[in-house]
A and B are shown apart, each in its own frame.
Chain A
Amino acid sequence: MTYAGAAVAGLAKAMDEDASVVALGEDIGRGGIFGQYRGLLERFGERRVIDTPISEATIVGAAVGMALTGLKPVVEMRVIDFAMCAMDEIVNQAAKNRFMFGGQGRVPAVIRMPNGIWSSSAAQHSQSLEAWFAHVPGLVVLAPATPQDNHSLLRAALACGDPVAYFEHKELWPLEGEVDGSLDVPIGKARRVREGGDLTIVSWSKAVHWSAEAAELLAAEGIGVDLIDLRTIWPWDRDAVLESAARTGRVLIAHEAIQVAGFGAEIAATLAEESGARVARCGGLRIPVGYSPGLEAQARLTPQAIAQRARELLDRG
């Protein structure tokens, strides 16, 4: 099953189980621009699968109103870059509602914001902004890297009762993988992708796949990588990262987002405070993503770059 198909199946299952789950967003009646809603309109009708105007602020604002009055909305932002048009609704309204009003209301909404570089789409369709949302109290932040996780975490997101910033990757939609529909993936638990004793790599979303390739390159050199896919950015699995750090003594954090003020900085700081591990980061340069293939490539992380950063970390002793 593909990453996109896994999301459709997970959402359909949630909609079957709970009549209060609705989906709203631009073009979702036709399946969504990545096919991540395919077939849902036919199955659940236009009351529950709502094609909306191009009105990002109101898509999220209306979802807040829906959530406060008995529904569980799944909100489509098309690509994260357009969620900028709904930042007040996400940050000031959805995330703060429960607290500000003393727990009178809750906003069980899942806001799907496809993240990351989308090839040849340039600076306004290629951002990785998960750190912005991790910074906001009230939000849960998820970033599945596999079809299984996209299926299971989407359902976990709907079940958790909190507003969730949900980041699928724009280039992972066609990724194939096994999906066990009955498997629950808890929020806040990382996944160990491979085990090794020389170095830990912590990653998420598409960068997990580059990190796995980097681990192969390093394995050929006799270096064992413990690769952790965080899956949840908030609340992130500190225990898994600290446990691995204690074993390997060296941690590389690899993410597609710009390295400066990225979420990797939070992990690195935590490791500095709470472990003796040596830490390095490997993230995007602080440049907008360019259109031309050569320019776009400058903004992309690669397995080679991750492997190189890992060797440098090991060389530090």
Chain B
Amino acid sequence: MCRIRAFEDAAEEASRGGVAAFGQAAGGSAQVRGPLHLSTGQEAVPAGVCAHLTPADWLTSTHRGHGHTLAKGASLEGMMHELFGKATGFCGGKGGSMHIADFSVGMLGANGVVAAGIPIAVGAAHSMAIQGRDAIAVTFFGDGALNRGPLAEALNWAAAFRLPVLFVCEDNQWSATTKTAAMSAGEGAAARAVGYGVPAVAVDGMDVVAVWQAAGELVQEIRAGHGPRLLHAKTYRFKGHVSVDPAAYRDPAELAAAMQGDPIARAREPLRAAGVPDADIDAVMREARQEVAAAVATADAAPWPDASAAFEDIQDTGSGRWRS
């Protein structure tokens, strides 16, 4: 959680002036450009869920995917370099924040299209079943994705084929500038899953221990061959939809109340109760910030992709040609 928070704080700092949206103009000097979707406040969900995964398990993510990627074990440095658009980033500077992936740890990609990662995870789970491999797949998606067809299709598919896949709805209550509840019929994520015969559990997504416990049970059931499960984690994003969004559409009291439950501050309680000294807890965040600062420094110094890279990794059969 601390690494995610530290990573995103630094990314936000490096992105100032780098995106035109919500009435703001883009400047040219930012180190991180384009839409940067921060998951500040939501860290307990990826941390609690991914603690149960191994690098052999598969993960698909969303436009707000930094936390998922880090929690799955991706290197913080490779991610920061990618956000800076450098050749040394995970995707060689071709993906950026919205398309971050680290296949080496089973992280099959963030996604710029809401709900699009869900069927891909179902396919990865199906592939494990076909190949007789033990790994499972996990897919994170927001509450806004509830209203897109691919989720409905994928829930049905996973249940019909009894696939080893965990659906995680990260419900931060907002879809861009819209309150999701105003746009969503029925009782929400868990009810929809149950409608497809997929058992679902709701959890306080601001409490990392609760997420860890609930996810642990679901992952165990999935690994035991009982088919798909859904975790509905109720959480909150502290920042705007993208880094430049002041979230003026949101009642400040709602944010203030949510911030009372900051998952990182809350995680201190069980640690203290277990006898961990405050100094050790503080050291975790301090070390995370140092690690991030080092990544920012190397990212800044790292080379840009060669112009010819724009023509690489498109397709082998009839790829685009260099203009003469």
Contacts and interface: CB of A to CB of B under 8 A. Distances in A.
Interface of A: 22, 47-48, 50, 52-53, 55, 57-58, 60-71, 88-89, 92-93, 97-105, 137-140, 160-163, 187-188, 232, 234-235
Contacts of A104: 90-91, 101-104
Interface string B297-316: 00000000000000011111
B127 interface: yes
Contact of A68 (B108, B112, B119, B318): B108
Given A53-B160, A61-B120, A102 B91 contact: yes
A169 B205 CA distance: 51
User: Which 5 residue pairs are nearest across A and B when measured between Cβ atoms?
Assistant: A65-B123, A61-B119, A235-B318, A62-B123, A102-B91
A100 B314 contact: no
A101 B123 contact: no
Contacts of B316: 160-162
B263 interface: no
Contacts, number: 159
A2 to B, nearest CB: 27
Given A57-B150, A70-B131, A102 B120 contact: no
Given A58-B153, A69-B124, A162-B317, 4 more contacts: A65-B125, A102-B92, A160-B316, A162-B316
Interface residues of B, number: 50
Nearest to B160: A53
A139 B320 CA distance: 11
B16 interface: no
B91 A58 contact: no
Interface centre among A62, A63, A103 (most CB of B within 10 A): A62
B18 to A, nearest CB: 19
A89 B317 contact: no
B193 interface: no
Interface in B89-140: 89-95, 99, 101-104, 108-109, 111-113, 116, 118-131, 137
Given A71-B131, A188-B317, A102 B123 contact: no
B149 interface: yes
B154 interface: yes
B238 interface: no
Contacts of A138: 314-315
Given A71-B131, A105-B103, A64 B91 contact: no
A92 B112 contact: yes
Nearest to A69: B127
A104 B99 CA distance: 12
B94 A62 contact: no
Nearest to B103: A104
Interface of B: 58, 60, 89-95, 99, 101-104, 108-109, 111-113, 116, 118-131, 137, 149-150, 153-154, 156-157, 160, 312-318, 320
20 contacts: A52-B157, A57-B150, A61-B122, A61-B150, A61-B154, A62-B123, A62-B154, A65-B119, A65-B127, A66-B130, A69-B127, A69-B131, A70-B127, A71-B130, A88-B150, A93-B120, A102-B93, A137-B315, A140-B315, A160-B316
Given A58-B119, A58-B154, A99 B314 contact: yes
A97 B160 contact: no
A105 B102 CA distance: 10
A69 B101 contact: no
Nearest to B114: A88
Contact of A88 (B104, B113, B124, B313): B113
A163 B314 CA distance: 10
A100 B124 contact: no
Contact of A162 (B109, B111, B315): B315
B157 A58 contact: yes
B314 A137 contact: yes
A98 B311 CA distance: 12
Given A98-B313, A104-B101, A22 B122 contact: no
A62 B119 contact: yes
Contacts of B149: 57
Contacts of A103: 92, 312-313
A64 B119 CA distance: 8
Nearest to A235: B318
Contacts of A63: 123
Contacts of B102: 104
B157 A62 contact: yes
Given A98-B315, A102-B94, A138-B315, A65 B116 contact: no
B262 to A, nearest CB: 32
Contacts of A93: 111, 113, 116, 120
Given A65-B127, A69-B58, A139-B315, A101 B90 contact: yes
B156 A55 contact: yes
B113 A92 contact: yes
Contacts of A52: 157
Given A53-B160, A57-B153, A71-B130, A100 B317 contact: no
B312 A64 contact: no
A187 B131 CA distance: 29
